[in-house]
Amino acid sequence: MNYRPVTKEALSAFFDAEFPNNSLNIEMVGEKKARIRRTPNQADLRPGNTVSGPFMMSVVDTALYVAIMGELGLVALAVTTSLNFNFLRKPVANADVIAECELLKVGKKLVVGEVTLYSDGDDRPIAHAVGTYSLPA
């Protein structure tokens, strides 16, 4: 399959069309990397006014998807096959969650990447994950 990289603007338009109200801001994509930002809303918080684990996992999964599409193009049928997640510290309350992703291996059938999450304004990681995506035949 012949893949073509996609620009940040094209990816933003894709997400706006396919996932309305996604609160996603793609800050950078290219060279097997992506940086995205999402703002949690009230539904994304858990008791204690902290960002929920499912929200953080969603941000990681989205960052991987953005990096893959930035590298290979709009591969709509690429799917997550594994996600290993480590929570490192409590996120800063009321702060955007920033994901920095790097693709470690881009093969014909599988893509492996790692993502580190940060709270906006804090350079200490709040989570780290490694994920694998399966590419369509």
Residue 83: give the domain boundaries. 8-134
Give the Cβ contact number of residue 113 at 10 Å.
25
Contact 39, 100 (CB under 8 A): no
Task: State the total domains in the chain.
Answer: 1
Question: Would you say 70 and 81 are in contact if contact means Cβ atoms under 8 Å apart?
Answer: no
Q: What is the pLDDT of residues 53-94, one digit of tens each?
A: 999 999 999 999 999 999 998 877 789 999 999 999 999 888
Residue 3 lies in a domain: no
CATH number of residue 41's parent domain: 3.10.129.10
Per-residue pLDDT of 21-64, as tens digits, reads 788 999 999 999 999 999 998 889 888 888 999 999 999 999 99
Distance, in Å, from the CA atom of 67 to the CA atom of 112, rounded to the nearest integer, reads 11
